[in-house]
Amino acid sequence: MAEGKGQKTNLGAHLGGHLRENGMLVALVAIVFFFTLVVRVSIDVDFLSAQNITNLFLQNSYVIIMALGMLLVIVAGHIDLSVGSVAAFTGAVAATLTVTLGWPVLAVIPTVLVVGGLIGAAQGYWVAYWRIPSFIVTLAGMLVFRGLTLWLLGGQNIGPFPKSFQSLSTGFIPDLFMVGKPNVTAILVVTLAALILIFLAWRSRQCDAEFGIEQEPMGLFVARSMVIAAALIFVGYKLASFRGLPNVVVVLTILTVLYAFFTENTTTGRRIYALGGNEKAAKLSGINTNRLVFLCFINMGVLASLAGMIVTARLNSATPKAGTGFELDVIAAVFIGGASMTGGSGKIIGVVVGALIMGVMNNGMSILGIGIDYQQVIKGLVLLAAVIFDVYNKNK
Amino acid sequence: MTVLLEMRGIGKSFPGVRALDQVNLTVEAGEIHAICGENGAGKSTLMKVLSGVYPAGSYEGEIRYDGAVLENRSIRDSEAKGIIIIHQELALVPLLSIAENLFIGNEIARRGVINWQAAFKKTEGLLKKVGLNEAPGTQVGKLGVGKQQLIEIAKALAKDVRLLILDEPTAALQENDSQKLLDLMLELKAHGVTQIIISHKLNEISRVADRITVIRDGSTVSTIDRAEISEDRIIRDMVGRDMAHRYPDRVPNPGETLLEVEGWNVWHPEQKDRQTIHNAAFHVRKGEIVGIAGLMGTGRTELAMSLFGRSYGRGHRGKVRMNGREVDVTTVDKAIAAGVSYVTEDRKALGLILEEPILKNISLANLAGIAMRGVLDKRREAKVAEEYRKALAIRTPGVQQKVLNLSGGNQQKVVLSKWLFTDPQVLILDEPTRGIDVGAKYEIYTIMNDLAAQGRGVVMISSEMPELLGMCDRIYVMNEGRIVGELSRAEATQERIMAMILKTTGRAA
């Protein structure tokens, strides 16, 4: 390679400068390897079995979905503690509409999303236009919507749901080619996704080159792209050989791409980062900061209601206890993913990786039979370590 | 008279700036000594040296106090010797009571337990001394600024003050509160408290001061005795420097009137009955550089920010016209759309997102200019940033650098780029060269000249008079929220501007 020697010296410097972005990805891969090894050795189970990978996504989809919205809220310099209660409440609303009132599923889903948006608006209004700290408003929301969930359900579980509603969580994309196993559609879709990903990365790299923007060394670029593509195809193959692509994974992927695009490539997305980075400067640049905060909370409410429906569908009943503690998992995922507490920074892809790290650890430790006591301690320490790593990097 | 304080040959440097050089100050016991000088002359730095904010060893020269060499390691040291400074920004805790504030850090306590009875009793005595008729339990935040100022003095008295330093004590006060404060100063003097007052207000100084020391560009110019005090003399000493800086040449070529402001009135955002801008009227022509002179806190920034999308104040009243047509400037984006830009004096807090790269800062005020239907074109963004980097000579390895890492001058160029990208017809530059080294200043001046040559109108707010004189075609002089005069380039001199300010101070009502 022509770059030969120069590249080697660059590599170290580049890794030093971008430790964070690559660090979390490396951590995720390392954690997966660790559990694969330990699970195999200690209880002779395949951690990366098709079934477990499917489970991993089904178990963690709601965290990832809410983390997408939470990232925006946190980037804007706020926090939303109410998402667990809101998910429970909207789940209860969905159950009441579907099971008790017998609404068709296609009417229930948009209705519940609107309810979520209204809840977000109700909270965001006080934060954005009255300047009441979001911590307090959403702490109140956390109590209010938990209470309303209990009231709506009358302390009972409501279920079961019709098949069509359950498929929100437990459904799979049907195989269009009818080959049987492995599921050809799944393999095709995932391979295509991997190719598109590589293409996009390559194009943005070309764009950087055009403007003399500092580039990632070629070797690292190739290595990283290969690893990501390989991981994607591996996961796709595994899913294909089980029951195919879960609906949730498709929804998740679409949302992730959508939000990544929104945060990085739209004016509104950019303005949210500006608002979190320096609200006064943003305001003096003609940005309607209050409205943006309001919109972030509405968006969070909508995503919380989507997550609420998915959880409800998965459990096949709305329960008063659903979603307890979700807010902490979601917020932890955002911070592990590299968002800053003070706002203004954080990436969608980082958040997804952060949520996956949490998810893989939950899943791995459960398989190993580690008690909930130790699990909490370990998760807490991982969160702390990730943020210390961040701060250390910044001060260096 | 015995000498209480003698500062000899004081020098103090900051990176790139010589703030104080060979300052001498002698204060006699029992006198009120005034220190005068322009903004940035070094008055406050000198007082920080004296009060231990800058500890011994961080400055040159010698301080003798009460017959011994004074070497303060901290403010606590100087306070222990009875030297107490009251800063312009009051250091009171608004949510605590008067009594609690008076003894902060100096509590009447045994083993950490406060004796409230004694504290309240002592508070009553101190309040009587400063002529305040308030209950010791009153929350400080509920008092007006004038009364708060008196509480600061009571706080100093609580510490057995011998040398009281007041940094622009009447800057934020109404006329009758100022008078009360000056009376109190004379009363304290009668009780033997030596005082140093920093002030711009010559009528106040001549009322209370026994002697005046004038500081200019970090050095002592003169010490004037009471008998010789005259406004002319002080003004001459304050501004008597040569034009030290050079300004790029330019042939002024003003065109039609661009921006016109008429009968502009603004009230303070929190204190509803305090009017900060009174009936301001001014205009800017195409290709013209117009200056706004005035001391700090006279309402120049408030005037500019209130015009720029009501970013300051409330109850805005008045007319704004662009090219003869009345325009809506009620929000920032409307002001930008009308062709007005405001470059803040505080670029770090209000102008930049420090953690973001240069290119994102430049596009911030005109994201529509790099987007199609709300989707950003990042190539275009990089291209735009690159163009401004070249045009304004922003010194940086690349436009991906965080602005945090740039020098003051280059940061200022990024802010300028941001506003130029909105293609404004009128740019209001608030202290555009503050905190910038001399070379970068010249570059900023050149950019300003280029903007005027392109037919834009430039408004320059500055506390540095030589800069206004060197750059502007016309200068408006502001004082106490009013525009008190207008001078053409030919008429304008530092003496005239100073005289306009001083002669209208406390007299416009």
Q: B315 and B274: one domain?
A: yes
Contact between B376 and A266 using a beta-carbon 8 Å cutoff: yes
Q: What CATH number corresponds to the domain at position B170?
A: 3.40.50.300
* B372 contacts in chain A (CB < 8 Å): none
The pLDDT score that the predictor gives to residue A5 is: 37
How far is it, in rounded angstroms, from Cα B447 to Cα B387? 14
- Contact: B364, A214; criterion CB under 8 Å: no
User: Do residue B359 and residue B394 come from a single domain?
Assistant: yes
Q: Which amino acid appears at position B439 of this protein?
A: G
Q: Which residues in chain B have Cβ-Cβ distances shorter than 8 Å to A207?
A: 378-379, 382
Q: Closest approach of chain B CAs to the CA of A108, in angstroms? A: 31
Query: In sequence order, what DSSP letters do the residues of B6-44 get, joined into one string?
Result: EEEEEEEEETTEEEEEEEEEEEETT-EEEEE--TTSSHH
8 Å CB contact of B350 and A284: yes
Q: Please tell me whether residues B369 and B450 are part of one structural domain.
A: yes
Asked whether residue B218 is domain-assigned, the answer is yes
Answer with the residue of higher pLDDT: B392 or A20: B392
Which chain A residues touch B309 with a CB distance below 8 Å?
284, 286
Q: A18, A265, A266, A278: which to substitute to probe chain B, counting the most B Cβ within 10 Å?
A: A278
Nearest 5°: phi and psi at A271?
-65, -35
Interval A1-20 mean pLDDT: 50
Domain boundary among B125, B160, B195: B160
Tell me if B349 and A281 make a contact (CB, 8 A cut-off).
yes
- Could B356 and A277 be called an inter-chain contact, meaning their C-beta atoms sit closer than 8 Å? yes
A270 touching B (Cβ < 8 Å): yes
Determine, yes or no, domain membership for A38: no
Q: Which of residues 407-436 of B touch A (CB under 8 A)?
A: 418
Segments in chain B below pLDDT 70:
1, 15-17, 39-40, 239-246, 437-439, 507-509
3-class DSSP state of B436: coil
Report the candidate in B250, B240, B186 with the shortest Cα–Cα distance to residue B217: B240
pLDDT the model gives residue A1: 34
Q: Does A393 touch chain B (CB under 8 A)?
A: no
Domain edge (last residue) among B207, B242, B277:
B242
Torsion of CA A61, A66, A69, A71, to 10 degrees: -90
Asked whether the predicted pLDDT for residue A11 surpasses 80, the reply is no
Residue type, A269: G
| Interface touch A344/B375, C-beta < 8 Å | no
Range of the domain at A274: 25-33+46-171+246-395
Angstroms from A278 CA to nearest CA on chain B: 5
Closest approach of A101 to chain B, Cα-based (Å): 41
Residue A15 lies in a domain: no
CA distances from B382 to A278, B277, B379, B420 (A): 21, 41, 5, 16
Please indicate if any CB of chain A lies within 8 Å of the CB of B342: yes
Q: Is residue B321 part of a domain?
A: yes
Structural domain including B152 reads: 89-160
**Which residues, including other chains, have CB under 8 Å from residue B490's CB and lie 6 or more apart?**
none
Q: Judge whether A139 lies within some domain.
A: yes
Partners of A277 on chain B (C-beta within 8 Å) are 353-356
In a domain, A20, yes or no: no
Interchain proximity B311–A283, CB inside 8 Å:
yes
Structure pTM? 0.79
Distance CA B23, CA B5 (A): 13
Tell me, yes or no, if A342 comes closer than 8 A to chain B by beta carbon: no
What is the pLDDT at residue B437? Answer: 65
CB-nearest to B374 from A211, A213, A267 is: A267
Q: What percent of chain A has pLDDT over 70?
A: 91
Q: Give the mutation candidate from A215, A284, A289, A345 for the B interface (greatest B CB count, under 10 A).
A: A284
Give a yes or no: residue B249 inside a domain. Answer: no
Q: Are A211 and B344 within 8 A, CB to CB?
A: no
| Two structure tokens written together for A272 | 């949210």
Q: Which of A25-29, A85-89, B253-257 has the highest mean pLDDT?
A: A85-89
Contact check, Cβ <8 Å, A207/B335: no
What is the structure's pLDDT at A396?
61
CB pairs under 8 A between A and B: 91
What is the strand order of the sheet B68-69 is part of?
Answer: B17-28, B3-14, B60-65, B68-69
pLDDT grade, residue A72 (50/70/90)?
A: very high
Q: Residue A210's closest chain B neighbor by CA?
A: B379
Test the B interface: residue of A14, A262, A270 with most B CBs within 10 Å: A270
Chain B: nearest CA to A284, how far in angstroms? 6
Please tell me whether residues B440 and B379 are part of one structural domain: yes
Number of Cα atoms under 13 Å in the Cβ half of residue A167: 11
Q: What is the pLDDT of residue A10?
A: 57
Which residues in B lie closer than 8 A to residue A270 (C-beta atoms)?
Answer: 360, 363, 367, 376
pLDDT band at A114 (very low <50, low <70, confident <90, very high): very high
B168/B75 same-domain check: yes
In a domain, A131, yes or no: yes
Contacts of B13 (CB under 8 A, 6+ apart): B19
Residue at A45: amino acid letter: V
* Residue A30 burial (10 A CB sphere; 0-12, 13-18, 19+): exposed
Residues of B in contact with A273 (CB under 8 A): 356
Name the residue facing B378 among A207, A268, A344 (closest C-beta).
A207
Cα distances from A141 to residues A76, A297, B506, in angstroms, run 19, 12, 53
B353 shares its domain with B204: no
* A17 assigned to some structural domain: no
Domain boundary among B196, B212, B242: B242
Instruction: Answer whether A335 touches B (CB < 8 Å).
Output: no
Q: What is the DSSP letter of B295?
A: -
Give per-residue pLDDT as tens, B206-245.
889 999 998 887 888 888 888 887 777 777 777 664 444 5
Which of A75, A211, A215 is best to mutate for the B interface (most B CBs within 10 A)? Answer: A211
Mutation choice for A interface testing from B329, B353, B361 by most A CBs within 10 A:
B353
Q: Does B130 lie in the same domain as B18?
A: no
For chain A, say whether B39 makes contact (Cβ under 8 Å): no
CB contact under 8 A, B398 and A285: no
**Residues B150 and B174 reside in one and the same domain:** no
pLDDT of residue B40: 64
The one-letter amino acid at B245: H
* Same-domain status, B151 and B183: no
Check residue A19 and give its pLDDT. 64
B250 domain residue, yes or no: no
Asked if B331 and A286 come within 8 Å (Cβ–Cβ), the reply is yes
Whole-number pLDDT of residue A44 = 87
Strands B457-461 and B32-36, bridge-based pairing: unpaired
Minimum Cα–Cα distance from B377: chain A residue: A265
Contact (CB<8Å) A281/B336: no
For chain A, the domain total comes to: 1
Among chain B residues, CA nearest to A284: B332
Task: Report the interhelical angle of A50-75 vs A267-277 (nearest 10°).
Answer: 70
Whether B356 and A273 lie within 8 Å, measured CB to CB: yes
- Contact assignment for B382 to A211 by CB distance below 8 Å: yes
Residue in B closest to A208 by C-alpha = B379
- Residue-wise pLDDT for B366-379, tens only, equals 999 999 999 999 88
Both B7 and B77 in a single domain?
Answer: yes
Residue A211 domain flag: no
Chain B residues in contact with A285 by the CB 8 A cut-off are 332, 364-365, 418
Backbone dihedral angles phi then psi of residue B350, each to the nearest 5 degrees: -120, -10
What distance in Å separates the CA atoms of residue B368 and residue B380, rounded to the nearest whole number?
11
Query: Which of A267, A268, A277 lies closest to B353 in CB terms?
Result: A277
Query: Which residues in chain B touch residue A284, judged by CB atoms under 8 angstroms apart?
Result: 308-309, 311, 332, 342, 344, 350-351
Q: Indicate the residue of B344, B383, B399 with minimum beta-carbon distance to A284.
A: B344
Whether B364 sits inside 8 A of A282 (CB atoms) is yes
- Domain count along chain B: 3
Per-residue tokens: B368: 């529509």
Q: Are residues B177 and B136 in the same domain?
A: no
In a domain, B247, yes or no: no
ipTM of the complex: 0.86
Kindly state whether B398 is in contact with chain A, defined as any CB-CB distance less than 8 angstroms. yes
Average pLDDT over residues A247-266: 92
Q: In this complex, do A266 and B374 lie within 8 Å of one another by their Cβ atoms?
A: yes
B128/B226 same-domain check: no
Question: What pLDDT was estimated at residue A20?
Answer: 62
Asked if B364 lies within 8 A of A274 by C-beta distance, the reply is yes
3-state SS assignment for residue B139: strand
Pick from A298, A61, A320: nearest CA to A168: A61
Residues 40-69, chain A, touching B (beta carbon < 8 A) = none
B368 in reach of chain A (CB within 8 A): yes
Q: Is residue A128 part of a domain?
A: yes
